[in-house]
Structure 1
């Protein structure tokens, strides 16, 4: 089949959505499918206005990507960290994607359209592309959308005092946008041939929803976990930095709204009162980074903040760490989310301090990947860290989690992905070859 992928994130960016779909695109291409990608240029090449540069990343003519996919670049816009700025940018990119699809209609002509969310406007573009080309479509939902829209009032809780714009938005506009976005997304999901998700609990939840059913028929929901290959690997130096009375804690990932990492700083402060010196390194970026730096100083916590690093450079931080944080806020939909970093840590056999609930907590515990405490309970996290510091043998992680990740990556995911492609192809027999 010729598959069109609509996304707002693509290589050479190195985030989770980009790595997920570079990996899945390779699986599809290796199986004989063609993949076309419609995506904006990388963020570091974006300007305030439409991109007009002539580099391979911003040019308006299609070219081959790293995995053999054909890439059609759209216009894009540089944005700030506020939710409204990001939403405006996503909408403008979505409109540019529609223009790009129409302008290159004869070159693209897909048999199947796949849209990967977030950004949420991608779902609408995917639906429209399917209409333009008269083909079925698949939504790669990834996280617990639209459920997370119900947490919109709490999105900025971890990034400091609300702005005047946020205060005004809460009095009506936010509820309206949430309601409309939820309705549009549910409509897109209902019309999809299949929905791809990253957790089995989200799959079960979606399968039970009447609003996704049309005359008793619902889209098939398929679990495609974020077990994409990682550049980091275990080294002989791992664990050689341990000292009595000290604990090295690493957080590598998004420092954003859904993580609520201030809870971890409070735990480090409480652990210090109990005689444990917690040394923390945060590797990453996000809307909450600046506030977190301020709170670390306020609490007297030994914390370093490192900007995003290429994945292959994370080994030095993994070697340093005694334990690594997987941390989420106490939002009910996040119980159906498994942070992708969980799989990387399991693969690398690094002890996980999981501040999570639901499926993520179950995976960490059942695979022997570490210890779990509930979100928003800094005392419980401090107690765990003190116990780990006093009993360093608990930091040793076996091979169960690593073996499970490898099996999911190399055996289970290709079968699930290619099987749903075959089913769609078989049911859409009039698709051109």
Structure 2
């Protein structure tokens, strides 16, 4: 009887997101994996998202199925509605306008969704305007509202300085940007407090939100399906250079200048190493210039398809996982870390907070403080002096399988949605939620 009642219940999800397949990246991968679990579990999914245009800002796939106004089916049976967007540069203002255009278009298209009235509206960040759009659609449809915070936004606005342009800026302009940052922080915090559920990807950020009075917070980590590339055994260098790789987003948040400076320092101490930074992002060219300036043994290379990341990890003796020394990053675990832990390759982790604790507790690698050039250089010099890179513990991959695998996270998300909608819906609206 219970199963029949659940099956007759409206369980449709309306997802508002600025990033979705066929784009590649952590947000896109997350919801591709979740869709693969939720749709078969009885949660029909409709996605409101702009055309694929990440990271260039221009449409990357010109199929009619990807243009604004199109409605198509995804790989898992989800319905994908493409909303309007605006071509953008790498500048913050340009990207913000694009996100706002997509958010407004999501509301206009979402109020007349071809899949009917949703039971749950999920708005996912990054793309802060998506949260406002999701809230408006949840109110319109009298649906439960879920806010998904992939990172510690909006807390990252101030330390990252993303509202400050390089170069000189007048007091009035600085004041306006500071005012804008505070306004965004207040808006997102209020919407978090009004949501029926806030999903974070780390336990640390969940505790921060609870301390602010957010009443219903749950953790669904980022996941991975990465398979080991080697057995957990020490790697003998046998007189060759230490091989280190970073593969992923190359932006301000990663602080990869530390790796370049550490590599130059290791070389200055008379040791040989080969560092590769492979990816895409605003800092790719500045890092290339820094490596040339310091004559560091660092190759800065464009991104490769995800299928080739395994080859990079198999080549490497260690994989860099790095974030800057900003307080909100102590509440953040980069999705890259789970991939590295699952790979069996030892991590060179420039991390703090929850992410550093995961590395240390599970023997996934060595931890140095973010921004610590000397510490990272000392770590690599120690391995080179010993002639051996230590093995990562098998506990790291075991932990990922139990806490951050796609199957575990999909099951966790469906459990949360079951709790959010415990009773069949009536004509008046959800049995729980929709409280604004």
Fold-level similarity (TM above 0.5): yes
| 2:225 matches 1:229 | yes
CA separation of 1:357 and 1:47: change in aligned 2, threshold 3 A: closer
CA contact (8 A) 1:47 1:76 kept: no
Aligned position for 2:99: 90
Equivalent pairs counted in the alignment come to 418
Do structure 1's residue 5 and structure 2's residue 1 form an aligned pair? no
Give the match for residue 27 of structure 1.
37
Conserved? CA contact 2:35–2:78, under 8 Å:
yes
Question: Shift of residue 106 of structure 1?
Answer: 4.9
CA distance 1:111–1:43, change in 2 (3 Å): same
Q: Which one is further off, 38-47 or 418-427? A: 38-47
Partners of 2:412 and 2:235 lie apart in 1 by 40
Of the three residues 176, 186, 189, the one matched with 2:189 is 186
Query: Residue 246 of structure 1 contacts residue 277 of structure 1 at CA under 8 Å; is this kept in 2?
Result: yes
* Alpha-carbon separation, structure 2, partners of 1:77 and 1:251: 31
Q: Does 1:129 align with 2:137?
A: yes
Indicate the larger mover: 35-44 or 144-153: 144-153
Given candidates 422, 425, 429, the residue that maps to 1:426 is 422
CA distance in 2, matches of 1:317, 1:53: 30
Matches of 1:182 and 1:301, distance apart in 2? 40
Any residues of structure 2 matched to 1:240-251 within 5 Å, and which? 242-244=237-239, 246-251=241-246
Cα contact 2:229–2:344 (8 A) shared by 1: yes
- The change in CA–CA distance for 1:28 and 1:411 in structure 2 (over 3 A counts) is closer
Alignment correspondent of 1:120? 128
Please tell me whether residue 259 in structure 1 is matched to residue 245 in structure 2.
no
Can you give the 5+ residue segments of structure 2 that lack an aligned partner in the other structure?
Answer: 1-10, 432-436
Contact 1:4 1:108 in 2 (8 A): no
TM-score, normalised via structure 2 length: 0.89
Give the superposition deviation at 1:59. Answer: 5.3
What's the secondary structure of 1:43's corresponding residue? coil
Query: Gapped runs of 5+ residues in structure 1?
Result: 213-217
Aligned to 1:162: 166
Structure 1 residue 24 displacement after superposition: 1.0
Displacement of 1:414 in angstroms is 3.5
Q: Secondary structure at the match of 2:338?
A: helix
1:9 and 1:18 in contact (8 A); partners too: yes
1:253 Cα deviation from its structure 2 partner: 1.2
**Which segment drifts farther, 120-129 or 267-276?**
267-276
Question: Mean alpha-carbon deviation: is it higher for 64-73 or for 244-253?
Answer: 244-253
Structure 2 equivalent of residue 41 of structure 1: 51
Check the 8 A contact 2:323/2:350 in 1, yes or no. Answer: yes
Distance 2:234 2:256 in 1: 24
Alignment deviations for residues 84-143 of structure 1 (CA, whole Å, 9 cap, x no partner): 2211211121122122213x3353411100011011111100100101111111011111
The 3 A distance-change label for structure 1 pair 413 and 170 is same
Q: Secondary structure at the match of 2:180?
A: helix
Q: How does 1:312-351 map to 2 (within 5 A)?
A: 312-351=307-346
Aligned: 1:294 with 2:289: yes
CA–CA distance in structure 1, aligned partners of residues 260 and 55 of structure 2: 34
Q: 1:256: how far off?
A: 0.5
Q: Is the 8 A contact 2:19 2:54 kept in 1?
A: no
- Which of 379, 385, 388 is the aligned partner of 1:384? 379
C-alpha contact (below 8 Å) 2:235/2:389 kept by paired residues: no
In structure 2, the partner of 1:215 is: none
Distance 1:246 1:429 in 2: 63
2:158 equivalent in structure 1: 150
Give the alignment partner of residue 199 of structure 1, picking from 180, 197, 202: 202
**Cα contact 1:8–1:93 (8 A) shared by 2:** yes
Q: CA RMSD in A?
A: 2.7
1:307 aligns with 2:307: no
**Residue 152 of structure 1: CA displacement?**
4.1
State the match for 2:265 in structure 1: 270
Cα shift readout 1:166-210 (whole Å, capped 9, x = no counterpart): 667862121011011111101110111111111111111111113
